[in-house]
């Protein structure tokens, strides 16, 4: 769902390939029969774009952690079971790695039944762990923070490791494209500090044009990442003083040229900003795991949470220039990155072969 899961899968595959291994990336939704995967992706995309309250209700019903029984994701996930085991056997896989909660439900179910003969590892990409990430059949869990690890350990007996987020190394190093982006942004509206707003790959956000208008009115240059949503890009373009961008390939360079990221989902763009040392401010989060993640990030002290317009402007003022608050956020954010997140997966595969 969305580009964040794809980005993590591709980065893990790149690291595996660089280490001499042969990775294969598969979309679990593509393994579902009868076009169910496309239908599921389409309905989720429509809900987060147009009816986010509906996704919030689905999250509360199926995914939110806490006491009480909730429906499992296994009945849907196991429809892809035969195709996944066939793929793993044909590829002669040594380990299967899930970066999406439906995949984690599937691999846990297959391992529990003995149908998947190689170990399964799960990268939990959310700051707030919801219940569909958890299945006792999986062999290993990897997560972003110690707090997430403690949640997982209450639900599984498998080893749980804290690896930090998975991002390309380009975000952790000085970005050569930053100078180009500074010139580009300065030409658009000279003299205004640029602030990045993320709406994800699908351009899903709550009133992004209103946020852009607020920032432009108060002296900032709002730079809105609209993803693949042309309708959103047109709407933001109509806001005087705002810059609407589509899909940006040089995101490390752009992050190196702006003063802060305004985030609504605590997803991959947010952790990429933390890697780049860019202050993150959660504002108008998407219902469900977006809101829980944004609040969890702020609770860890790696970002700020703005409950309203005044809070947003105050948070921006605190990190606009170099100083103790900006330095503290940067140091806390970068402390999440603990080394090579692929190493425990490779160790799991090697132990199974031995």
List, for residues 184-215, the tens digit of each pLDDT value: 999 988 899 999 999 887 777 788 899 999 99
Do 74 and 89 belong to one domain?
yes
- Over its C-alpha atoms, the chain yields an Rg (Å, rounded) of 20
- Please indicate, yes or no, whether residues 128 and 16 belong to a single structural domain of this protein: yes
- What integer pLDDT is reported at residue 124 of this predicted model? 95
110 and 60 belong to one structural domain: yes
Which residue range is the domain that position 207 belongs to?
170-334
Q: Give residue 351's pLDDT.
A: 83
Q: Within this chain, do residues 128 and 187 fall inside the same structural domain, yes or no?
A: no
What does the pLDDT look like over 103-130, one tens digit per residue? Answer: 999 999 999 999 999 999 999 999 988 8
Q: Where is average pLDDT lowest: 37-46, 135-144, 312-321, 331-340?
A: 37-46
For residue 242, give both structure tokens: 């705002």
Q: For residues 55 and 98, state if they share a domain.
A: yes
Query: Do 105 and 174 fall within a single domain?
Result: no
Average pLDDT of span 49-58? 65
Provide the whole-model pTM: 0.90
Residues 219 and 138 in one domain: no
**Residue 253, CA atoms < 13 Å, CB-side half-sphere:** 13
CA distance 182 to 85: 49
Query: pLDDT grade, residue 73 (50/70/90)?
Result: low
Strands (E), the chain: 96-98, 120-123, 140-143, 160-162, 194-198, 221-225, 243-245, 261-263, 280-283, 304-306
Q: What is the pLDDT of residues 331-346, one digit of tens each?
A: 999 999 987 899 999 9
Q: What is the predicted pLDDT for the residue at 322?
A: 78
- Is the pLDDT score of 69 beyond 80? no
Report the number of distinct structural domains present in the chain.
2
Q: Are 100 and 186 in contact (CB under 8 A)?
A: no
The verdict on 149 and 188 lying in the same domain is no
For residue 299, is pLDDT > 90?
yes
Instruction: Supply the pLDDT for residue 296.
Output: 92
Looking at the fold, whether 185 and 315 belong to one and the same domain comes out as yes
Work out the number of other CB atoms within 10 angstroms of the CB of residue 24: 12
Q: Is the pLDDT of residue 47 over 80?
A: no
Angle between helices 208-217 and 230-237 in degrees, nearest 10: 30
Confidence of residue 38 (pLDDT cuts 50, 70, 90): confident
Residues 152 and 174 in one domain: no
Buried/exposed 106-115: b ≥16 CB within 10 Å, e otherwise: bbbbbbeeee
Q: How confident is the model at residue 302 (pLDDT cuts 50, 70, 90)?
A: very high
CA 340 to chain centre: 18
Token pair, residue 167, equals: 């991002």
Give the CATH number for residue 248.
Answer: 3.40.50.2000
Confidence of residue 62 (pLDDT cuts 50, 70, 90): low
What is the percent of the chain where pLDDT is above 70? 91
Q: Is 146 in the same domain as 198?
A: no
Q: What number is the average pLDDT over the span 144-171?
A: 93
Do 138 and 186 sit in the same domain of this protein? Answer: no
* Region of poorest pLDDT, from 141-145, 314-318, 319-323, 343-347: 319-323
Give 237-241 contacts, CB < 8 A, sequence gap 24+.
238/209, 239/209, 239/212, 239/213, 240/216, 241/189, 241/192, 241/216
- Is residue 48 scored above 90 in pLDDT? no
């Amino acid at each position: 769902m969305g580009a964040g899961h794809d980005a993590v899968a591709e980065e893990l595959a790149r690291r595996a390939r660089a280490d001499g291994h042969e990775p294969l990336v598969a979309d679990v939704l593509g393994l579902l029969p009868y076009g169910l995967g496309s239908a599921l992706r389409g309905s989720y995309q429509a809900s987060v774009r147009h009816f986010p309250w509906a996704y919030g209700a689905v999250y509360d019903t199926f995914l939110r952690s806490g006491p009480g029984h909730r429906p499992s994701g296994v009945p849907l996930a196991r429809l892809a079971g035969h195709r996944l085991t066939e793929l793993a056997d044909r590829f002669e896989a040594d380990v299967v790695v899930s970066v999406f909660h439906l995949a984690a439900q599937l691999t846990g179910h297959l391992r529990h039944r003995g149908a998947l003969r190689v170990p399964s590892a799960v990268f939990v990409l959310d700051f707030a762990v919801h219940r569909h990430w958890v299945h006792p059949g999986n062999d290993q869990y990897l997560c972003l923070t110690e707090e997430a690890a403690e949640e997982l350990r209450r639900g599984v007996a498998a080893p749980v490791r804290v690896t930090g987020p998975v991002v390309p190394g380009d975000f952790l190093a000085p970005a050569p494209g930053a100078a180009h982006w500074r010139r580009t942004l300065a030409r658009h509206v000279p003299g205004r500090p640029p602030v990045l707003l993320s709406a994800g790959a699908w351009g899903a956000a709550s009133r992004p044009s209103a946020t852009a208008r607020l920032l432009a009115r108060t002296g900032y240059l709002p730079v809105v990442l609209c993803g693949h949503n042309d309708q959103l890009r047109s709407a933001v373009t109509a806001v005087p003083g705002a810059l609407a961008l589509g899909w940006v390939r040089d995101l490390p360079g752009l992050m190196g040229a702006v003063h802060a990221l305004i985030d609504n989902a605590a997803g991959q763009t947010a952790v990429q900003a933390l890697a780049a040392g860019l202050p993150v401010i959660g504002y108008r989060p998407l219902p469900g795991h977006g809101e829980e993640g944004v609040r969890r990030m702020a609770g860890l002290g790696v970002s700020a949470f703005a409950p309203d317009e005044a809070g947003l402007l105050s948070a921006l003022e605190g990190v606009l220039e170099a100083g103790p608050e900006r330095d503290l956020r940067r140091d806390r954010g970068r402390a999440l990155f603990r080394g090579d997140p692929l190493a425990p997966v490779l160790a799991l595969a090697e132990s199974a072969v031995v």
